[in-house]
Amino acid sequence: MDHLIATSSRKHSLLSTHKVLRNTYFLLSMTLAFSALTSAASTLMRLPAPGLILMLVGFYGLLFLTYRLANSPAGILATFALTGFMGYALGPLLSMLLASGAGDVIMLALGGTALVFLCCSAYILTTRRDMFLLSGMMMAGFVVLLVAVIANIFLHIPTLSLTISVMFILFSSGAILWETSNIIHGGETNYIRATVSLYVSLYNIFVSLLSFFGGMRSN
């Protein structure tokens, strides 16, 4: 009897995990498409870039709102508001690259971002490894990244900028591995929070690849 109960419990847990993963990927695909639309509109309309203050307030304000509403249907609307805003913020950068004839940089960044996501997701879903221990390394990586970004604000060293881009790619790749592992092992049961986490990682990888390839092209 206990064996049957344990088996039933494992099946229920597995079904629940698959549901969270399925909903996460579905919502992620929808938000990426919406973000691409707002980014394209921002690029075509040549909208001005948001200032640093607006960018920080918009991102962290909408991120806080999304997490606050994550357990209600309104959380989905907040997720689209966040990803739409991030798409708009990306538009001016894409406009600048297109105006300089660097459309190939955008395509390389898109392809690289897709490849990183597919490889990281496939690795976790295939091996089902628990990446819990990665969280400590990521915290240390975040501190190093923060110090490097602050230093580069004052130093403006091209090589350091390229290094920061590579560090962001590695850090965000680790975040994808950790979040995907967290979902399949039942650590994350809310698909809205999981979607936002994966979206932010993909956004950071894309922007970092734009910066890296753009910097290499300029050099």
pLDDT in tens, 74-84: 999 999 999 99
pLDDT of residue 28: 97
Domain boundaries, the chain: 2-218
CA dist., res. 52 & res. 39, Å (int): 18
Most trustworthy range by pLDDT among 10-19, 132-141, 160-169: 160-169
From CA 113, how far away is CA 133, in angstroms rounded?
24
- Half-sphere exposure of 13 toward its Cβ, with a 13 Å CA cutoff? 12
Tens digit of each residue's pLDDT (9 = 90 or more) over 182-197: 999 888 999 999 999 9
